[in-house]
Amino acid sequence: MAAPPAYDVVVVGGGPAGAAAALTLGRADRTVLLADAATGPPPVGEALPAAARVLLRDLGAQDVLDDRHHLPCFANLSAWGSDDLAAQDSVLDPHGHGWHLDRRRFDRELRERARRLGAEVAIRTTARPAGRSADGTWTVELRGPRERRTVRCRWLVDATGRRAGLATGAGARRVVHDRLVALCLTLPPSATPAPDASTLVEAAPDGWWYTAPLPAGHRLLARYSDADLAGVRTGAAGLRSDVARTRHIGARLSAHPWPSWAVRRAPAHTVRLDTVHGGGWVAAGDAAAAFDPLSSQGILTALYTGMRAGRAVHDHLCGDRTALTRYAAEVDTITATHLRNRRTFYGLEHRWPRHDFWRRRHTVDATKSADSRPNTRPDLIPPPGVRP
């Protein structure tokens, strides 16, 4: 006779979605193992909108945000559809100001909250399903720097990010909507304090630029364009030459030394699984649906879908056979909203209609993706400071 499962749920992925799922399951008195492989480049930084306060409070983790370690963001600026800057000030937001995150600390603190609720947190540990038995329990192989072991669980949460390793291994299909990529560079601290802590978005002929200060005095620069466009240069010298042609972004960088290290290339396309749950598993965060960064909702969506996926698994294990279907419908609604809003806000920029980047986004209809691929998904929110 097989031994009973050691855990109700194994959550694979220790980012915001995985931590939110573990927190939700822990608060429901489920036994949880959170495995974080900690592979790939470390997170650099990301803006978190003020509405995250509500989600963090619901997760019992509202104290992970403080102004000592995370930089308050009081305004979002954008040059979109015009050379002039528009501003969206936090004084108009009922939730207050947002934050420029120290992402490593933020993720670590969320995992620590899950640990305090009783979750076992395994860092630098991969989790690979080795099979599912007739009674529905999973055998999972764990590989870390200090141990190799096999555990059993009743359910898996895939929070592995865009690659959705568990879900695609179980037969789910990734539906990709465009070819957007990010070229990212972190600039060293400037000799003089930054004039303000606003984010800045600026549209350009072949995409758009983003810059924001980071808590330690560094500055993040990102250029977004389609991967197949010939004019997109990936080296630091090319990026520096291109940013010199911007009207607003270049001025924000002028006080920072230009670094010698390499530009990092990262996927930024909109992608969604054709199904977000299956036999014994559910996907959350970017594994379920990852959106165009123009929305500025990446971490917010990860926290929400992680929380909702955790709740759906708990309810399902309690006998609610519609819980996972309701969760899938929520992801469908979020994705549909994102795609609709993305079309709206890309449509506000008319200065370069003949350029491929903008032509693709202006000619897409409600049933097509930005590169004419079938669209079984949706969209999200405006660039900071831009309103329809």
Question: How far is the C-alpha of 347 from the C-alpha of 82, rounded, in Å?
Answer: 13
- Max CA pair span of the chain: 71
**Which pLDDT score, from 0 to 100, does residue 386 have?**
35
pLDDT in tens, 57-110: 999 999 998 878 899 999 999 999 999 999 988 877 888 899 999 999 999 999
* 288, pLDDT greater than 50: yes
User: Domain 7-74+95-177+269-333 belongs to what topology?
Assistant: FAD/NAD(P)-binding domain (3.50.50)
The pLDDT value recorded for residue 38 is 84
Does 28 score more than 90 pLDDT?
yes
Q: Does residue 144 surpass a pLDDT of 80? A: yes
Given this model, what pLDDT does residue 195 score? 64
The structure's pTM equals 0.90
pLDDT computed for residue 371 by the predictor? 38
Q: What's the pLDDT tens digit per position in 302-318?
A: 999 999 999 999 999 99
Segments making up each domain of the chain, as ranges: 7-74+95-177+269-333, 180-267
Q: 180-267 — its CATH code?
A: 3.30.9.100
Which candidate, 194, 189, 196, 261, places its Cα nearest to that of 218? 189
Contacting residues for 7 by C-beta, under 8 A, at least 6 apart: 31, 32, 33, 120, 151, 152, 153, 154
pLDDT score at 388:
30
State the pLDDT at residue 67.
75
Least confident of 38-42, 47-51, 249-253, 379-383: 379-383
CA distances from 47 to 63, 105, 198, 208 (A): 17, 14, 10, 17
pLDDT of residue 381: 32
Is a pLDDT exceeding 60 seen at residue 384?
no
Considering only 22-31, 33-42, 134-143, which range has the smallest mean pLDDT?
33-42
Res. 30: pLDDT tops 80? yes
Least confident of 65-69, 201-205, 300-304, 371-375: 371-375
